[in-house]
Structure 1
Amino acid sequence: MINTNGELVNNEQASLSVFNRGFAYGDAVFETIRVIKGKLMFWEDHYFRLMSSMRIMRMEIPQNFSPDFLEQEIKGLLEAEDLIDSPARVKFTVYRKEGGFYRPSTREIGYVITATQLQDPFYLLDESGYELELFKDHYVNSGLLSTIKSNNRAINVLGSIFAEENDYDNCLLLNENKSVVEALNGNIFLVKGNEIKTPPLSDGCLKGVLRGKIIEIVKKLPEYKLVEESVSAFELQKADEMFVTNVIIGIRPVSKYRKKEYNTTVAKTLLSRLNMMARLG
């Protein structure tokens, strides 16, 4: 089942117009949410990021788009899909209604919600080999638009093809200043001694919900110092540890970048606290 503008329809019956602006122009934003037994993890953070993304894209936010309304829309779909008691991945996409060519003729929106089952309810640490390389064919533009989750994912698609063709598990993206911004599917953190470093939003990295949670956790650990500063490619080979974060995988340790191999000590510490936060929050 799929929720299309509040109506539950079978997958085979769900459709979008070829003139849909999300399809035609990437005029859409989305949230990917992890659900555990009907509980939307970090829902408040997802909700406010969605509202912020819609404002940045100058979409009209309907008056009924309250946290409770959207949560019930999602849970209604989970019940229809028999996923209310299972771990699940929900994608909530908001698009501007069709009309106009490059210049939209409306600010009104429509939405689509999909849900798929996940295997594990909480985050597990995958310590298998995970090798990264820089993707240098195209660059992320630093600035506000790059921080939101929109349908404009061309660089991520091309980077994933590059990774597949060259037998890498993931790639790191650079901005126009040649600073390392993020991975193809999440934010990055580097560990050097007691310092945990992540690129700032001003460099163009995604304003990830898990990024915010990891920052929140690290700030409460007196033995570590959090730094939000630009990351150079040169620093990657000096780090003790590197990991990728997003709301579906949680924390994914990187095992290798070029000749540099990393450990997973800090990732293990943070993952246990992240799962505790997920259970309580």
Structure 2
Amino acid sequence: MSMQHLLNETDILLKHLGLNEEPFGIHYSDTIPDNAYGPKKGTPVSRELEEQGALDMQAVMSTFSCVIGNIWLARKKHAAAYISPEEYGCVGGAYYCSMMKPHLRFIEHYVSTGFEGTPLDGERYMPGPDAMREFMIKVNPRKAAATYCIFKPLSHFTDDDKPEFVVFFARPEVLSGLFTHAVFTTGDMECVTSPFGAGCTNIVGWPLYYKEQGLEKAVIGGFDPSARKFMKTDELTFTVPLSLYNKMLSTLPESMFNHGSSWQGVRKKVDRSARAWDETK
């Protein structure tokens, strides 16, 4: 499907959903778009340096910048965001976006119960470092296809520059439409999944994981407490591989959006939500 056709069909889908924000696309490139949002260049970081005791985590954290936070800025400005091995911002995000392998052992403690005998208590999202290590090894993002992982509005892509994944930012009523239409398109009751992960894990890491497994899975995310400040109230993410997204667009004429009355009732709630949040423009 050409990008122009995909964008035309996306406009139809957005009107059905009642969503006034176009989705973002994700791809890898050796160049970044103009005026893109991303982290500052950080101190060199690697597992090797960590194991040698030569990694200054205070210096690493001094340039902290969240992937979802940069996407939030890009969303507001209708621009792009990026992360790279040198401009990583967050060592967890660098791993989930394929910018750094293997992961730092620091993350195993930081996301779980911290370091014993230190003031770092940890985020307590996982019950302990061992559980967090298993999670990191499970996700195991592939080697990056290029220098930068880039996030930008779908309309910024061309036929020579297509996205690998498409990401929607939406509240539950709209998500119910995306979820149900994905199932209608595939006939697979488990085609939508929502595993544990950071905000960027669920828009990059897990979608990459399923694609590498040869599975067409949509991933719902946005449950990471640390990333919630960079999302609208009640908003979640819905990430789908381009191959599945093309199929979802092709089945729109036969979908619930054009047949039956169930979606029309939900659509009224979408409109009420947009009025309540003053998002009708």
Q: Which of structures 1 and 2 has the larger relative contact order (alpha carbons within 8 angstroms, sep 6+)?
A: 2
* Structure holding more strand per residue: 1
TM range (shorter): under 0.3
* Structure holding more helix per residue: 2
TM-score (norm: length of structure 1): 0.23
